[in-house]
Amino acid sequence: MKRIKGCFPQICTPQKLSSAYRRARKGSRREVAAYEMDLELNLFNLRQSLSAGNYAHGAYRQRTIYERKPRLISAAPFRDRVVHHALMQVIDPMLDPT
């Protein structure tokens, strides 16, 4: 397995988090509206918790859909999806350069 060192400070930049927010908001509405109410404060608090090292994932929401066959779908909270997108912006070019 390849180690990628020194990428964590890049994830915590305000530019990466705001770009990650814009990517994460595509496709979801209800949670986005609640997060946008205090967007700057939410992104600031997210950056602070990431920088301080006390960030913790929230609980996943689960629901069953019945298209063709029953399937259990798990969705991360919107705040966590912002972190996922910020992380992928940093490590994706390193892992897949093409």
User: For the chain, what are the domain ranges?
Assistant: 8-95
Contact 50, 83 (CB under 8 A): yes
- Summarised one tens digit per residue, pLDDT across range 5-55 is 777 788 888 899 999 999 998 877 778 888 889 999 999 999 999 888 898
Q: What is the pTM of this model?
A: 0.82
Q: Compute the C-alpha angle 46/25/67, nearest 5°.
A: 125
pLDDT number for residue 20: 92
pLDDT number for residue 10: 83
Rounded distance between C-alpha atoms, residue 52 and residue 10, angstroms: 14
Mapping DSSP to helix (H, G, I), strand (E, B) and coil, where does residue 98 land? coil
